[in-house]
Amino acid sequence: MKKILIALLLSSVFSFGQSNQKETSTLENEFSKSTLDAENIIAFETRSKQKVVDFCNYIQLISNKDLDDKLRLHSQKSALTLFNTNSCVISEQMITGKNDYILINDFFSAVYKSKYHKIEGLASNVVFKDQLTAIDSSNYAGTISYTHTMNFYNQAGNITKTIIENKFVEVTLTRKVKTFGTTEKIIWTVNLCDIKND
């Protein structure tokens, strides 16, 4: 039964990753033009909100000790692609208990090594606090606020602790060079950055 459950979870994990990659590629490839109109900005704002949900979903994949270690480590690398640099920070007290800012990579490492058997991350009330606004011709910035719920499970599958925090995350929309096969294109890419307590 446990093997069947893991197989189903792995199947959904790969579907989750593939559908998100296809959606991202389609959206960002479609908007390779040099300027964006209001409709384009709304589309990227929608994608930004989905990336907040994806961030929380990755927490469960990385932390879940029932899953294969390679899958968990691959999920950790994939989760980092949601962010615009490895120097993004998160206000972290959920895993270490210290109210401090740590690098996002260190956060995912702490999730992976956590003493908990599984950590369920949930994002709700995901809305733009500050809409995506042009900083210059190839950069936009905005802020999303959301409610971050973390359920911590023991090996028996029982929730031992729940933490609910209101957070905000910085969002960037920038033009970057990306390779599609043998072709390079300059496309718009939306990413998350610093996550702080509201």
What is the per-residue pLDDT for 129?
A: 94
Q: List alpha helices for the chain, DSSP H.
A: 2-30, 38-63, 69-80, 104-113
Which range, of 13-27, 40-54, 72-86, averages the lowest pLDDT? Answer: 13-27
Is the pTM higher than 0.85? The answer reads no
Start-to-end CA distance of the chain, whole Å, equals 42
Give every CB contact of residue 96 below 8 A, 6+ residues apart in sequence. 102, 110
The CATH classification number of 2-197 equals 3.10.450
Count CB neighbours of 165 within 10 A: 15
| Residue 105 confidence (pLDDT) above 50 | yes
pLDDT in tens, 153-198: 999 999 999 999 999 999 999 988 787 788 888 889 999 999 999 8
* Block residue for tokens 């929730």: 159
Domain locations along the chain: 2-197
Handedness of CA 86, 150, 100, 52 (dihedral sign): positive
pLDDT in tens, 36-69: 888 999 999 999 999 999 999 999 999 999 999 9
Structure tokens at 114: 């956590």
| Residue 94 confidence (pLDDT) above 70 | no
Q: How far apart are CA 141 and CA 149, in angstroms?
A: 25
Give me the count of residues in the chain: 198
Structure tokens at 55: 């961030």
pLDDT in tens, 113-133: 999 999 999 999 999 999 999
What is the per-residue pLDDT for 169?
A: 97
Least Cα distance to 131 among 84, 176, 190 occurs for 190
| Residue 138 confidence (pLDDT) above 60 | yes
SS3 156: coil
